[in-house]
Amino acid sequence: MSFLELQDIHTHFTKKGGLIFQKDVETVKAVNGVTLSVKKGEILGLVGESGCGKSTLSRTVMQLIRPTSGKIVLDGEVLTDLRPADVRMRRLDFQMIFQDPYASLNPRMTVYSTLAEAIKQRHPDLKGEDLTAAIIKLMDTVGLDPRFIRKYPHEFSGGQRQRIAIARALAPEPKLIIADEPVSALDVSIQSQILNLLLDLRKTLDLTMIFISHDLSVVRYLADNIAVMHSGVIVEYGDSETIFNSPQDDYTRTLLAAIPHLA
């Protein structure tokens, strides 16, 4: 059975115009009828160029944006039927890693404060030495030296900051991770470290993931299956090797042709 199901998801935005009397002038169909399923323990790669709707889709899954229509079912529960307060509680089970860790981390909070706040969402009574031990264990899980526990985000490199962001996403013990372009702002050598970390976490923590990227070569390394998105719709879906070796859609072929090759 599917762990996550997206059933005919539409997420539309209405633009308004007029200086005095505002009226609807245009409807932007950022996500326009997406149906996907993700099995437990699977990594689904969601690929497309900037503006194709993939980030809007990820925020719709997270319920940060409510869909215009359609259903999102996680582990048998229809998230789109829940009240906002219930969604906030349920969100402990699905967390997000953003593209820019420096922007997503609070610059006034140390690693300790950042992770403590996230851990206490699941374990509100944890404190003292037990809380510190949980933070240190989490830092070790993502490859951060516990000596850095009292440092602030600006004191870290980009790769280290992304590890903090990953640790924060893991802190509430989620079952699903949505990673939105998590390596695109990093150096190539650091990208590989973060990708290998995500693969290790999938295995050790039995995580299900949606990995979003514009780079098919990165997604091929990580994902079991790939969904190619263009203009708000999924134009091609299949396992990674099939997508690479036998693409069926012209847009997929265009993305593959854009991958740099050494002469």
Give φ, ψ of 70 to 5 degrees. 105, 170
pLDDT of the residue at 259: 84
Q: Which of 152, 151, 160, 148 is nearest to 190 (CA)?
A: 160
pLDDT of the residue at 24: 67
pLDDT of the residue at 156: 95
pTM for the full predicted model: 0.91
Neighbours of 73 (CB within 10 A): 17
Q: Is 228 left (phi over 0), alpha (psi -120 to 50) or beta?
A: beta
Neighbours of 42 (CB within 10 A): 18
Residue 111 and residue 99: Cα distance in Å, rounded? Answer: 18
**pLDDT over 90 (residue 150):** yes
Whose structure tokens read 């990708």? 195
**pLDDT over 80 (residue 147):** yes
pLDDT average, residue stretch 103-110:
93
pLDDT tens figures, 164-215: 999 999 999 999 999 999 998 788 889 999 999 999 999 999 999 999 998 8
As a whole-number percent, the residues of the chain with pLDDT over 70 amount to 96
Q: What is the crossing angle of helices 128-141 and 111-122, to 10°?
A: 110
Q: Which of 159, 160, 158 is nearest to 148 (CA)?
A: 160
Neighbours of 174 (CB within 10 A): 19
Residue 82 and residue 147: Cα distance in Å, rounded? Answer: 41
CB-CB contact of 155 with 114 (8 Å): no
pLDDT tens figures, 47-105: 999 889 999 999 999 999 999 999 999 999 999 999 989 998 899 999 999 988 888 89
pLDDT of the residue at 99: 87
pLDDT of the residue at 184: 86
Residue bearing the bigger pLDDT, 28 or 208: 208
Whose structure tokens read 């037990």? 130
Secondary-structure breakdown of the chain: helix, strand, coil percentages, each rounded to the nearest 5: 40, 30, 30
- Is CATH 3.40.50.10800 what the domain over 2-14+28-100+175-257 is classified as, yes or no? no
**pLDDT over 70 (residue 263):** no
